[in-house]
Amino acid sequence: PVFAGMKGSAIENFSCVIYHIFLMNCTWQAGRDAPADTQYFLYWQNSRDEEEMECELYIKDENCRNMGCIFQNVSIGIEKAYFLVNGSSKDSLIQFYDEYIDLYEI
């Protein structure tokens, strides 16, 4: 199913900011009902022609949980970029979060 996983475990408040034209910082908050051991992973695809890439530089919170990502050398096109954040926990399935974002509007 599309929304498999524990209700309330997907990330919340996902947002991205672009700095100096080529740096992008995306952040989120853990799902309010996510188990304490949940770890999140961000993937993005800048256009349909490019491969999906995982974040290379995660921003971590005090519990070493991934709560953001810094992207370098971002190119801004006119297509919407696709973002996917999935999670894993040893205790339960975690819902994923995905969104299409117009980077040139950020």
List the structure tokens of 35: 């188990």
3 state SS for 39-57: EEEEEEECCCCCCCEECCC
| Residue 2 confidence class, pLDDT cut points 50, 70, 90 | low
- CATH assignment of the domain containing 12: 2.60.40.10
| Residue 4 confidence class, pLDDT cut points 50, 70, 90 | confident
pLDDT tens track for 57-84: 999 999 899 999 998 888 777 678 899 9
Residue 105 has pLDDT above 80, yes or no: no
Percent of the chain at pLDDT > 70 equals 94
| Residue 3 confidence class, pLDDT cut points 50, 70, 90 | low
Helix (H) or strand (E) holding 100: strand 97-101
Residue 89 lies in a domain: no
Residue 45 lies in a domain: yes
Residue 88 lies in a domain: no
**Domains of the chain: total:** 1
Range of the domain at 13: 1-30+41-81+95-105
Residue 26 lies in a domain: yes
